[in-house]
Structure 1
Amino acid sequence: MVVVKSVKIDGEGIHVFKSAIYIFETGSNFTLELNLIVSEIVVKKYKKEETLIIEVELDDGRVIHSIMHVKILSGGLPQLNLFCELDDFEEYKDFERVNENDSWFPNIEEGITIEDIRKVEMPDEEFSIKLKLPIDQVEWLKNQKRARLNELFKEVIYDLWKKGYRDGV
């Protein structure tokens, strides 16, 4: 079985949590498929792209350079599906082959959770909240810098989280 060691997209290394590389066969067409579990940050960065320049280093030392199409797989963990057509698949003869009629398909989500991914790369997201506070607190908040408020709220929320207030109790 062929194992992916590292992946670069447009020359930039990305953190890959799990992957599968294989040949997908539909009729007389063959595509090289690379499924990657990545962070939500990586998905967000590449979700609007149609094609990317990919460099895949395999455990056996081989390096694959290709322009690949991008599909974002939704519904589970953050994933990229990268693929390109193969004219000559002879150099990929040791790769797993999946036929469109097969019941077997690589399941790369097994054994990893979104929490595992977020320990490595936690995305930040904009969030607005409307509060009714005493005027002195509002004045104090207005005098604070945005970066300081972000850090302050992160600390307070994580402290509450650790104390067991996760479930809205």
Structure 2
Amino acid sequence: MVRVKSVKVDGEEIHVFKSAIYIFESSAGVTLELDLIVSEVVIKKYKKEETLIMEIELKDGRIINSIMHVKILSGGLPQLNLFCELDDIDEYGDFHRINENDSWFPNIEEGITIEEIRRVEMPDEDISLKLRLPIDQVEWLKGQKKASLNEIFKEFICDFRKKLES
């Protein structure tokens, strides 16, 4: 089976946790499909894109350059499905072929967890809090810069979680 070594999107290499590349045959035609487990940061970056310029390096040294359509697969781990139509499938003779009527599809989520992904690339999210505090604390908080407040709360939450766990 053909294996992926590295993937670049628009010239930028992305971290791929697991992948599967294969030929998908359906009544609509034949496509080259690339399924990738990536970080939530990568999903957030490309979720609004319809197509991406892809450079896929295979373990055997071959390189596939293609403009591919993007689907974000929901549920489970953060996963991209990229595909492009193929006219000439002769150069892909050693790729695994899947027919639309097959009951088997590659399961690339097996053996990896969201915690492992987040250890490599942790996404940041904005949050708004409604608090009721004494006026002097409110005035002090309003006087701080956003970056300082982010660090204060990160440290506080880490310390508080450790305290609860012990």
Same fold per superposition (TM over 0.5): yes
Please report how far the alpha carbon of residue 164 of structure 1 lies from its aligned counterpart in structure 2 after TM superposition.
Answer: 3.3
Q: Which residue number in structure 1 is paired with residue 26 of structure 2?
A: 26
SS in 2 for 1:81: strand
* Structure 1 Cα separation of the partners of residues 87 and 142 of structure 2: 62
- 1:1-169 matched pairs, under 5 angstroms: 1-27=1-27, 29-164=29-164
* Structure 1 Cα separation of the partners of residues 161 and 118 of structure 2: 16
SS in 2 for 1:56: strand
SS in 2 for 1:32: strand
SS in 1 for 2:164: coil
Please report how far the alpha carbon of residue 45 of structure 1 lies from its aligned counterpart in structure 2 after TM superposition.
Answer: 0.8
* Structure 1 Cα separation of the partners of residues 54 and 147 of structure 2: 35
Please report how far the alpha carbon of residue 28 of structure 1 lies from its aligned counterpart in structure 2 after TM superposition.
Answer: 6.7
Structure 2 stretches of 5 or more lacking a match? Answer: none
Aligned-pair identity in percent equals: 78
- Residues 86-139 of structure 1, C-alpha deviation per residue, up to 9 Å, x if partnerless? 111111111111111111100000011111111111111110001011111111
Structure 1 stretches of 5 or more lacking a match? Answer: none
Provide the aligned C-alpha RMSD in A.
1.1
* Structure 1 Cα separation of the partners of residues 31 and 53 of structure 2: 16
